[in-house]
Amino acid sequence: MAKNTAPVETPVYLFLGFLESGKTKFIQETLEDERFDTGESTLLLVMEEGEEEYDESRFKVQNVHISYLNGQDELTEANLASLQEMYGATRVLVEYNGMWLLKDFFEAMPEGWMINQLMSFFDARTTLNFNANMRQLVFDKIENAQLVVFNRYSDEMDKMALHKLVRGISRRTDIVYERVTGKADFDNIEDPLPFDVNADVIVIEDKDYAYFYRDLTENLEDYIGKTVHFKGIVATDARLPEGNIVIGRHVMTCCEDDIAFSGLACVLPVKMPLKTRDWLEITAKIELKKHYVYKGKGPVLAVSEVKRCLPIEQALAVFY
């Protein structure tokens, strides 16, 4: 019988952030914690070198192998797989380069590597300035993070601005503000949606479509069976069944480069001569059904009321 050579799942702990944001310090402290010592061979991939260096003499975790990637050309599936095989590593920690996009790492992950934890670190003193000048890189570090840590936080700083920065990208990410003393404050700021999810009819104002679409896709179960009312742009396709369209808005999540049409499958109650880029105002019940648009199940708008409307003044939906 042939030997099964399929790779086992390898947990990956991914730490994001710009230089001097606290990644190295956190990983060092993690490896000094004997509770993290499971006896596994651990590969630590360092993809940028800051002023702080690892002190292996203080590691309580045994069998740690540190490998430095000297450039993005070394971020390849073949190289990562080779390093794992060289050390027989069964788990991987990654100190990721702050100037590289996360998709490049995802594309280079060898078969069997699974993200177990993704944390992002920021220097609270410089975060807003980085966001103003390198929005795409800041967005990239928050979008998929389970936890965002703002280091070097003090009471003089604008906590709400940092909170809004994260919440404008993700409603699920946990936020911690860590002071220079080491004390950590967990973010407990209430962040209600700009519309009432429990209303008989959820009215989505023109400026709130981006929030509605994101929350719907992240918390679909909360919307099934609910009725919504909003204005949107029509997209048609000859492959759609008769009476079916897609309705939505163009949404900018990060920057102009990522503007995309974010629409939902929609079944109209009457036949209408529509073309792409027409505007409609609809009232519809959200149902979970199979639909061509999703290549499977997804939210389908069963429309009860529909009428043509003029384009709104601010047609691009953004997170304000």
pLDDT tens-digit series, residues 120-136: 999 999 999 999 999 99
Q: Look up residue 89 and give its two tokens.
A: 């590593």
Q: Look up residue 116 and give its two tokens.
A: 């177990």
The answer to whether residues 30 and 80 touch, using CB atoms and an 8 Å cutoff, is no
Q: What is the DSSP letter of 8?
A: P
Alpha-carbon span 211 to 78, nearest angstrom: 40
Identify residue 168 by its one-letter amino acid code.
G
Q: If DSSP codes are grouped into helix, strand and coil, which group holds residue 56?
A: helix
User: With a threshold of 0.85, does the pTM exceed it?
Assistant: no
Rg over alpha carbons for the chain, rounded to the nearest Å, is 24
Alpha-carbon span 106 to 233, nearest angstrom: 33
- What are the angstrom distances between the C-alpha of 54 and each of 30, 58, 109, 156, 191? 11, 9, 24, 32, 38
Phi first, then psi: give them for residue 217, nearest 5 degrees: -75, -30
pLDDT tens-digit series, residues 140-191: 999 999 999 999 999 999 999 999 999 888 888 999 999 988 899 999 998 7
Q: Residue 25 — left, alpha, or beta (φ > 0 → left; ψ -120 to 50 → alpha)?
A: alpha
Counting as low any pLDDT under 50, the low residues of the chain are: 1-6
CB atoms within 10 A of CB 87: 17
- How do the residues of the chain divide into helix, strand and coil, expressed in percent and rounded to 5? 25, 35, 40
Alpha-carbon span 306 to 231, nearest angstrom: 10
Alpha-carbon span 65 to 43, nearest angstrom: 5
Q: Look up residue 47 and give its two tokens.
A: 């993809």
Q: Tell me what pLDDT residue 7 has.
A: 53
